[in-house]
Structure 1
Amino acid sequence: MPQLSFEQCNIEEICTSVGGSKKLLDELRGKLREWLKLQPHLPHDAEDERLDWFLLCTKLSLELAKQKLDAYYTIRRFIPEFFRNRDPCAPGMNNLHDVMQFVLLPKSNAGNDRTCIVRFISDDANIFRVEEVCRYLFMINEIQMVEGHNSGYNLILDLSMMSAGQLVGMTPSFIKKCDVSASAHAIRLKGIHILNAFSLVNSVVTMVKSILKPKLAKRIHVHANGNFEKFHQFVPKSVLPKEYGGTYSNMDDLDVLLRKKLESWRDWYLEQDNVLVDESLRPGPVVNGDSPFGFSGSFRKLDVD
């Protein structure tokens, strides 16, 4: 079976789109690396590509990149259900894959955006855990930080096989965890597109929009069942699998390729379980972990352009 590889976006174009250049990125990476070495509470293992991710996703702001990088490591301790026990070969992963398919499209669109598709393939609420979905998505993003720089994500949620019972975990508290976690990962969302939604989903979307920043809330689109015409205005057919009117491969094959990609990163995920912030060494006030969001005030909100 072929391996999943991502079409490389033009790094110079991405730098230009955020008001900089490749030369500036190189200079800032060196400064961010030197700053990281001086932080006794933070791990020092970040790859150059990971540092580039934080710089590009903060529009080449060195100070914001420092904040995001600190948050990236800090959040692992406070939201372990998303960032610990991330073995892609664990038996529990079978339940997740029995319910859902995950696809990260290898091709980017003309704006250097990457598209991620999450598709329900079973309505079984007994084996569905919404926190496992988020953990898997953040596992995917860990790989993108190194292998697939982009200008942002289009997240596609296909709810054609979703049941009302699978919505139980979508509470305001859970949405807040997702918001804070995505901010710590410096994720830039260009759009969230919900396909094949049933009526109850509209109430959930309204609740979600009330929690998110207005600019991001406006980027949530619910598309009519089976009607991809408007959807294709956001994500072109050329990068989509055939199930969504596209011309690139199919969901089954792409889902398997992404699973294999995560399995190839297994050693890294297991190692990172023990790569945490040491709050006893943090200069200044210790980050408060009394509640899941006790630390969130010092983190920026989800990045939107």
Structure 2
Amino acid sequence: MAMSKKPFQTTLSEAMLKKAYSELGEDEERRQQVIAIIQKWFGQQPHLQRIRLEDYSIICFARGCKYSMEKIKHKLDLQFTLRTALPEFFSGWDPLKPKIQDALSCGSFLPLLDYDQHDRKVIVMRPGCFDPMLHKPEDIEKANLMISDTMGWKDEQIFVTGMVIIIDCQGFSLNHLTLKPLTLTKKQMYYLQSSPISPKTINFIRTNSVFHSAYNVVTNMLNDKMKQRLKVHGSDFKSLYKEIDRKILPKDYGGDGLSLAELTEHWKEKVEENREFLMDSERNFRVDESRRPGKAKTAQDIFGIEGSFRKLSVD
């Protein structure tokens, strides 16, 4: 695959460049070096030839993988393999489709616009914000992933400083739990493994009795390292403020940031603005398994039978 005509130009602030240098050993020379190595490797993989790999994506993965070449290669291959093997999440990526419009209007995945006191990205997830009788979980997940891709394409800093997650369980009901197949949850958890970054902490708020049933199911899919990053605050926002700067939190949580409704509208508009990028990613981020060296990977190979999923691993 041909190199980009123009060298990659980072948009990180001076403070973030210093952080990337001190924590990742990143400088201009190393950025260009990793791009050259990965682009050359990518061009030698027959099954990846349909994919247009941007220099920006390489740098994001490099930062998330702490510049480990083998991890970068593994995560990139896994990312595109799963995007191919999970059509229930990665097909029909047109944000103007009525079902996707409805899903975006629910506000299930809401990155905050400001960073916290540790310069981390904060993402609010709301698994109980939609009526599970009206919305298919696959459509909600598609909308969430579209927002995630839109966020990541514009935000270099998240790959340097990392992210924290708030899971707001308000409205989470027995129907949310029973109408979503366990296999779908497992596939979501598996896909997290292909992300170049993993959450520093996952904070549960406004929990209820149904949450605890779901919590037990999900934690069984996590390894011990990830379990240590889970924090259950319940309705104690003062406890949450110790983890995340209150000033940047939504007004709904006693903060000074945009409300959940305002964030929902903001990200719906952003996804619509990036419609072409998202539709292109659906077409272009596909592995040609017929050309994979060795044995092609099918969904059955990757996910196996019920109960055979590996626990979520994190660095």
TM-score, normalising length from structure 2? Answer: 0.83
Q: How many residues align?
A: 296
| 1:13-24 → structure 2 map (5 Å cutoff) | 13-24=19-30
Alignment-mate amino acid for residue 235 of structure 1: I
**What secondary structure is seen at the aligned counterpart in 1 of 2:187?**
helix
Structure 1, residues 84-136: CA drift from partner, whole Å, max 9, x if none?
11211110024324544432112112433211112367563311333333322
User: Structure 1's 286 and 122: CA in aligned 2 closer, same or farther, altered over 3 A?
Assistant: closer
Q: 1:187, 1:303 within 8 Å by CA — same for their partners in 2?
A: no
| 1:1-305 → structure 2 map (5 Å cutoff) | 10-42=16-48, 43-97=50-104, 99-119=106-126, 122=129, 124-149=131-156, 150=158, 151-225=161-235, 227-275=236-284, 276-290=286-300, 293-294=303-304, 302=312, 304-305=314-315
Q: 2:107, 2:261 within 8 Å by CA — same for their partners in 1?
A: no
CA shift for structure 1 position 242: 1.5
CA RMSD of aligned residues (A): 2.7
User: Structure 1's 26 and 106: CA in aligned 2 closer, same or farther, altered over 3 A?
Assistant: farther
In 1, the alpha carbon distance for the partners of 2:12 and 2:95 equals: 23
Consecutive unaligned residues of structure 2, counting only runs of 5 or more, are: 1-10
Alignment-mate amino acid for residue 272 of structure 1: S
User: Structure 1's 25 and 51: CA in aligned 2 closer, same or farther, altered over 3 A?
Assistant: same
TM-score, normalising length from structure 1? Answer: 0.86
Alignment-mate amino acid for residue 260 of structure 1: E
In 2, the alpha carbon distance for the partners of 1:76 and 1:100 equals: 23
Identical pairs, percent: 26
Consecutive unaligned residues of structure 1, counting only runs of 5 or more, are: 1-5
User: Structure 1's 92 and 16: CA in aligned 2 closer, same or farther, altered over 3 A?
Assistant: same
Deviates more, 1:98-107 or 1:155-164: 98-107
Structure 1, residues 21-53: CA drift from partner, whole Å, max 9, x if none?
454233212211221122221134122211111
In 1, the alpha carbon distance for the partners of 2:80 and 2:168 equals: 31
In 2, the alpha carbon distance for the partners of 1:61 and 1:144 equals: 24
Q: 1:280, 1:286 within 8 Å by CA — same for their partners in 2?
A: yes
Deviates more, 1:205-214 or 1:100-109: 100-109
